[in-house]
Amino acid sequence: MHGLGNDFAVFDARKQTLMLTPAVARALADRRRGIGCDQIIVIGDGANGCTATMRIVNADGSEVETCGNAARCVARLLLEETGKDTVTLFTLGGKLSCRAAEDGLIAVDMGAPVLDWQTIPLAEAVDTDRFTFDLAGTPIEASAVSLGNPHCVLFVDDAETADVAGLGSQIETHPLFPKRTNVEFVAVTGKDALRMRVWERGAGITLACGSGACASFVAARRRGLVGDACDMTLDGGALRLSTTEAGHVLMTGPAALVYSGEIDLTEFSA
């Protein structure tokens, strides 16, 4: 499945045991010798009152807390399976409430953004709205937000020419971010319109990052660059982002099923 080109190998582990080690995850994510994907997604039985659990493992084998694009994909499967209007997903980053929206889109309540530097987390106290840190002798101005996972948002004049690979890979592992970080490069392109490119923690450059889009929206809104809703254009397409009365971030976008099949993980692992 994919959400705006951010692609996933989705496994349903509700009726069978799935032994997913980091090595197996890396092999599955290999685009030449495996299925090929940005992340491995595992659907598990419901927990904490949720319809199902969602586990997210990056292409490098590391496990992460949440994923907005994957949430839309899993929600689509569960909405079609149950026939319900809403489903809830339990992730390491918290509970996600998902519903069917107009034109076949899926809306996900990503929860309230975390802005406290210790909780995001950062290694030292900063004003997460706007702070500067040193990167190999170059000062970098950024914002920091967590939507269940950490994000470092850089506002740039032109997202198209931003050094996503060079800066993103360095910032991901900067000591300021003890759990590593996703890195977003964001430009204002119009009234309540943003353009974002992303370096994802553990996956590199991807065509879209749902939680990153939400974090970028929050950071832009804090600086007065957008209002209570905006259109976010990513490499893979567009998302609609808005705030709820509860102060949560609502993300609306597509979820596509590419194909379904079976794999013998015992044979594959060997």
pLDDT of residue 201: 97
Candidate list 50, 73, 152, 209, residue with the active-site label: 209
- Percentage of residues of the chain with pLDDT beyond 70: 99
Query: In whole angstroms, what is the distance from residue 78 CA to residue 6 CA?
Result: 19
**Catalytic residue status for 67:** yes
Model confidence band, residue 70 (pLDDT cutoffs 50, 70, 90)? very high
- Give me the residue spans of the domains in the chain: 2-111+254-269, 131-252
Architecture of domain 2-111+254-269: Roll (3.10)
Q: What CATH number labels 131-252?
A: 3.10.310.10
Model confidence band, residue 104 (pLDDT cutoffs 50, 70, 90)? very high
Model confidence band, residue 60 (pLDDT cutoffs 50, 70, 90)? very high
Asked if residue 137 has pLDDT above 80, the reply is yes
pLDDT of residue 270: 67
Partners of 42 in the beta sheet?
11, 55
**Catalytic residue status for 230:** no
CA distances 117 to 113, 136, 146, 191, Å, are 12, 22, 9, 29
pLDDT of residue 19: 86
Model confidence band, residue 177 (pLDDT cutoffs 50, 70, 90)? very high
CA distances 182 to 114, 191, 261, Å, are 15, 25, 31
With CA atoms as reference, report the closest residue to 2 among 241, 240, 237, 262.
Answer: 237
DSSP codes, 193-249: EEEEEEEETTTEEES--HHHHHHHHHHHHHTTSS-SEEEEEETTEEEEEEE-TTS-E
| Residue 213, token pair as written in the block | 């889009």
pLDDT of residue 17: 86
pLDDT of residue 167: 98
Q: Quick check: bond before 22 cis, omega within 30?
A: no
Q: Do domains 2-111+254-269 and 131-252 have the same CATH topology?
A: yes
pLDDT of residue 171: 98
Asked if residue 266 has pLDDT above 90, the reply is no
| 162-171 residue pLDDT tens | 999 999 999 9
Candidate list 67, 73, 98, 152, residue with the active-site label: 67
Q: What is the rounded average pLDDT for all residues in the chain?
A: 96
pLDDT of residue 23: 93
- Percentage of residues of the chain with pLDDT beyond 90: 94
